[in-house]
Amino acid sequence: MKNIFVAATLTALFLTSCSSDDVNTSTPDNTGVTAPETYIFKRGGESSVSFGGQTTRILMAEEFVSALKDNTKSETDLNAMFTHVEGESDFTDTDLNASGKNIRSKVAASKDYFSANITVSNEIKADFDAWIAEQANIVFPNWTTTATSGVAGQLQQFNGGSTRYINAKGLELNQAVAKGLIGGLMADQMLNNYLSITVLDEGSNKANNTNDIVEDGKTYTSMEHKWDEAYGYLYGTELDPSFPVLGADSFLNTYLKQVDADSDFSGTANAVFEAFKLGRAAIVAKNYVVRDAQAQIIRENISKVIAVRAVHYLQSGKTKIAEGDMAAAFHQLSEGFGFIYSLQFTRKPNTNAPYFSHNDVQAYVAELMTGNGFWDVSNETLDTISEEIADRFNFSVAQAAN
């Protein structure tokens, strides 16, 4: 009885805290499709939901990002974690070591954005490779050096706060990687791959789903599985993925929680969860119009999460610069840098385009890193970038900054 009460309480809290008229949750009327209360779907009495591969990659990314702050690691060690080969002992978790999956192969690898654009995909992967190499070969050897403009090393935050380890331009490379993966891995695979009509309806997927033809030896159709894999990149590490409470990992899951906690964006988390449930129910009901409408809702809201956090961290960094706490400032700006990098993986609803192109993002990166980078970045630059992002997503800088 206690467990039932807790679950009911959590459900009420989640649905109450995530309600807002400001979030787009439009769905065609009179569809005949009803979303279940939780993300539980069965066939023949057995669960038809599966996203183990997504959970594995999130867990790999967690350990990999942590290793980027371990100065005993070499570039070879870090690359082995990023490009893991089945059976190699790259992780502390033996299940991860036994897996044939890795992180790098799924970075900038969505069907819609990169199947016909291998050049840009390779450029993005090369950015991650370069950040890893610089962390291992420049930041780690200067771990105890006091950082100054043009010199990598460490800085201590005010009042006994955290020590930050930065490159010569003030960038925390581990933050660039971590926040870059939110877009380059989680959002890209979710928004531009598994929720893509190209992927959902690939080959005989639509006909098989319509006729309840499941994958060999499985309880799910291919279409159901693709939708679930998108779900897994957001909720795959939840204690109970059928009813997420958020904050379960260091990536998109926790930042959806943080954005939703801001009263200006309250309802975002519920809009995404409801769209995932209704879209999956629509697949079961063979209603592909409703399915596609839910994909657009998810794309809009997940894209906004990335934009809100980009602006939030740029503005927080500006505040810390004014206070003279450069370690805290560089930490905030580095997180903002990573979210800006992730903007190229967002998806404008009802289009095949991100809110900001690869070239747009590269221009922002160049602007932030010009000269001595964060050491001499101007308030004008931070405000201009913030305003451009906020304007494109129809929120204000002030809303995201608080």
The model's confidence at residue 30, banded by pLDDT at 50, 70 and 90, is low
Q: Percent of the chain having pLDDT more than 90? A: 92
User: What's the pLDDT score for residue 4?
Assistant: 30
Residue 370 has pLDDT above 50, yes or no: yes
Cα–Cα distance, 36 to 216 (Å, whole number): 26
DSSP string, 352-372: SS-SS-HHHHHHHHHHHHSTT
pLDDT per residue as tens digits for the range 85-119: 999 999 999 999 999 999 999 999 999 999 999 99
In b/e form, how buried is each residue of 60-96, taking b as 16+ CB within 10 angstroms? bbbebbebbbeeebeeeebbbbbebeeeeebbeeeeb
What's the chain's average pLDDT? Answer: 93
382 is written with which tokens? 């931070």
Cα–Cα distance, 72 to 113 (Å, whole number): 37
Structure-model confidence comparison of residues 19 and 40, the more confident one:
40
Residue 366 has pLDDT above 80, yes or no: yes
DSSP three-state, residue 349 = coil
Cα–Cα distance, 291 to 206 (Å, whole number): 12
Closest CA to 168 of 184, 152, 154: 152
Q: Taking residues 28-48, what's their average pLDDT? A: 89
User: What's the pLDDT score for residue 31?
Assistant: 73
Residues 6+ away with beta carbon under 8 Å from 79: 129, 132
148 phi/psi in degrees, rounded to 5: -140, 170
Cα–Cα distance, 293 to 166 (Å, whole number): 43
User: What's the pLDDT score for residue 5?
Assistant: 31
Closest CA to 187 of 302, 314, 81: 302
User: What's the pLDDT score for residue 54?
Assistant: 98
CA R_g for the chain: 21
What pTM, to 2 d.p., does this model score?
A: 0.93
Residue 323 has pLDDT above 90, yes or no: yes
Q: Taking residues 56-63, what's their average pLDDT? A: 98
pLDDT per residue as tens digits for the range 282-308: 999 999 999 999 999 999 999 999 999
Cα–Cα distance, 171 to 286 (Å, whole number): 48
Residue 260 · residue 20 · CB < 8 Å: no
pLDDT per residue as tens digits for the range 173-210: 999 999 999 999 999 999 999 999 999 999 999 999 99
User: What's the pLDDT score for residue 146?
Assistant: 98
pLDDT per residue as tens digits for the range 237-280: 999 999 999 999 999 999 999 999 999 999 999 999 999 999 99
| Residues, the chain | 402
Cα–Cα distance, 139 to 161 (Å, whole number): 20
Q: Counting runs of H as helices and runs of E as strands, what totals does the chain give?
A: 18, 4
User: What's the pLDDT score for residue 32?
Assistant: 87
User: What's the pLDDT score for residue 373?
Assistant: 98
99 burial level (CB within 10 Å; 0-12, 13-18, 19+): buried
User: What's the pLDDT score for residue 234?
Assistant: 98
Residue 2 has pLDDT above 60, yes or no: no
DSSP string, 225-246: HHHHHHHHHHHTT-SSTTS--S
pLDDT per residue as tens digits for the range 127-177: 999 999 999 999 999 999 999 999 999 999 999 999 999 999 999 999 999
User: What's the pLDDT score for residue 26?
Assistant: 42
248 is written with which tokens? 């379960």
| HSE (side-chain half, CA atoms, 13 Å) at 217 | 0
User: What's the pLDDT score for residue 19?
Assistant: 35
Say how many C-beta atoms besides its own lie within 10 A of residue 52's C-beta.
Answer: 13
Q: Percent of the chain having pLDDT more than 70? A: 93
46 is written with which tokens? 């057995």
